[in-house]
Structure 1
Amino acid sequence: MDLHEKFELLKKNLSALDSLCIAFSGGVDSTFLLKAAHDVLGDKVLAVTARSFSYPEREFKEAVEFTKKHGILHEVILSEELDVEGFSDNPANRCYLCKNELFEKIDKIAKEKGIAYIAEGSNIDDLGDYRPGLTAVSEHKVLSPLREAQLTKEEIRSLSKELDLPTWNKPAFACLSSRFPYGQKITKEKLEMVDKAEQFLLDHGFRQVRVRHHGDIARIEISQAEMEKFLNLELMKEVGGYFKTLGFPYTALDLKGYRTGSMNETL
């Protein structure tokens, strides 16, 4: 199938649903899915966004602005992963624990409102990495319409651009809990350190950013395209100085640059 055949298949599959709750983070995939579903189903679609310490305020604000602009029904819930048993210990199945709790809460909302289905925004490329959260998707019988239509990340970006969505070229994002090596304790304070560190780099014009928390060391991942920009003595001194005030005595730049799932490399 070509790009637009996949898009037509997506819309056809969505049109067969009576009503739908969509787990909406405001990222590239869930924004595209929400827009497509709303175009097809209108007010039979409810976006549900979970707030937590792992979810930066900037991402939440963008999600709220999008639903307001497009007149999409939106509900915000609290889903504090740190309260989930075992989550803060950061096991290899951490993402499963988070998604399991999230879908339990969305399922409750769906039942209360008489909404027939729940969907999430994973795409076909997500099958190529370690994604324990997809086990929770399967267990809770959550639909994955983008995967069902065989849409890749780049195809979703292309269609998002055609639809004039602000997320078409938005950098990839994963929750802040993904910044810690498996087995390292996750705390509210550490999440705040990472959030502030990444925001500092974003405020300096970097687009694709990860700050990995390795105890005393902050390991920065930026895209290869932005690497040269970072290699500025004054900027590096400023970054190192600010990171030290956050609680990182040492700051390092990962020479491989940003890549999806780098924490899975040690599994």
Structure 2
Amino acid sequence: MQTQLSATPLSPEFQQKYDALASNIQQLGHLAIAFSGGVDSTLLLKVAHDALGENAVAITARAQMIPAREVQEASDFCNIEHIRHIIMDVDAFAIDGFAENPANRCYVCKTALFGCILQKAADLGFSHVAEGTNTSDLGDYRPGLKALAELSVESPLLKAGLSKADVRELSHALGLPTWNKPSYACLASRVPYGNTITAEKLSAIETAEDLLIEAGFAQVRCRAHGKLARIEVPPAQRVALMEAFTTSDLAARIRNAGFDYVSVDAEGYLSGSLNRTIE
């Protein structure tokens, strides 16, 4: 868990944005937050809890494509903030089409995952579920957004017109430890479309990324091309990564996680880099 900051007064501009977000949430009355522990859903949950108190609940999915560290950080945050938190186990490989990894895998997965979250929320007496999409998420290939719309999942950050930069600045002002947390996507996004997803692949990717994060590379992706691990870090960290590979056993430990070869991507970290394969 990252270091908690002290809250600071909001500027008039961001006070207006905060008020718009809180107003959107208050209108829902009772709200279950699909809580990943990332920067977006953490801000959403914080504001929902401030606005609704016990009428807000966090629901976190625990599944093979979700890093265990993210579930733990979500749990830690809720414990610190005294927010009711439900961890819901989901078998990703029971989702029809998930393992086959089609180009619309995110749609397939989110349809099933949010269906489970909606049912859990209903069982708890909550008629609304919200998630953390913001305006910056609209510019890339994100088939999961279609699933959210079809299921009538609320997106208060998007409705309030908040960008990723806005989310980070508001999070910083509110003293949230996630204000500068790198963005992470589900582990399945590390496997090229059309390549079968297996539990072994996801475990190898998770272990490799955990090793890299522990080595100081917070913004990282391990793309799995068969038995080759293609590591993406920000361009400014490529030299440091190569030095880590040559002066430690980091590469060997990544191979031991389930790969035969380890490579460093020449272009560096790029969110959604595998989307370029979609025609």
TM-score norm. by structure 1 comes to 0.96
Matched ranges for 1:145-164 at <5 A: 145-164=156-175
Contact 1:52 1:80 in 2 (8 A): yes
For residue 96 of structure 1, report the CA deviation from its aligned partner. Answer: 1.0
Please identify, of 3-12 and 168-177, the stretch whose mean Cα deviation from structure 2 is larger. 3-12
Question: Corresponding residue for 1:186?
Answer: 197
Once residues 52 and 23 of structure 1 are traced to their aligned partners in structure 2, the CA distance between those partners, rounded to angstroms, is 14
The one of 148, 155, 159 equivalent to 1:144 is 155
The one of 148, 173, 196 equivalent to 2:184 is 173
Once residues 45 and 206 of structure 1 are traced to their aligned partners in structure 2, the CA distance between those partners, rounded to angstroms, is 34
Note the residue ranges of structure 1 that are not aligned, 5 or more in a row: none
Label 1:232 to 1:43 Cα distance change in 2 as closer, same or farther (>3 A). Answer: same
The one of 20, 29, 40 equivalent to 1:9 is 20
For residue 116 of structure 1, report the CA deviation from its aligned partner. Answer: 2.3
Matched ranges for 1:1-267 at <5 A: 2-232=13-243, 235=246, 238-267=249-278
Once residues 136 and 169 of structure 1 are traced to their aligned partners in structure 2, the CA distance between those partners, rounded to angstroms, is 28
Note the residue ranges of structure 2 that are not aligned, 5 or more in a row: 1-11
Once residues 162 and 132 of structure 1 are traced to their aligned partners in structure 2, the CA distance between those partners, rounded to angstroms, is 32
Label 1:41 to 1:250 Cα distance change in 2 as closer, same or farther (>3 A). Answer: same
Q: Which amino acid aligns with 1:145?
A: P
For residue 242 of structure 1, report the CA deviation from its aligned partner. Answer: 1.9
Contact 1:18 1:116 in 2 (8 A): no
Once residues 29 and 224 of structure 2 are traced to their aligned partners in structure 1, the CA distance between those partners, rounded to angstroms, is 44
**SS of alignment partner, residue 90 of structure 1:** coil
For residue 102 of structure 1, report the CA deviation from its aligned partner. Answer: 1.5
Map Cα deviations across residues 82-136 of structure 1 (whole Å, 9 max, x no partner). 2111110100111111111111112212222221211011111111011111111
Once residues 8 and 199 of structure 1 are traced to their aligned partners in structure 2, the CA distance between those partners, rounded to angstroms, is 37
For residue 234 of structure 1, report the CA deviation from its aligned partner. Answer: 5.2
Once residues 88 and 111 of structure 1 are traced to their aligned partners in structure 2, the CA distance between those partners, rounded to angstroms, is 28
Map Cα deviations across residues 153-210 of structure 1 (whole Å, 9 max, x no partner). 1110111011111100111100101000000000101111001111111111111010
TM-score norm. by structure 2 comes to 0.92
Once residues 153 and 53 of structure 2 are traced to their aligned partners in structure 1, the CA distance between those partners, rounded to angstroms, is 20
Label 1:198 to 1:55 Cα distance change in 2 as closer, same or farther (>3 A). Answer: same
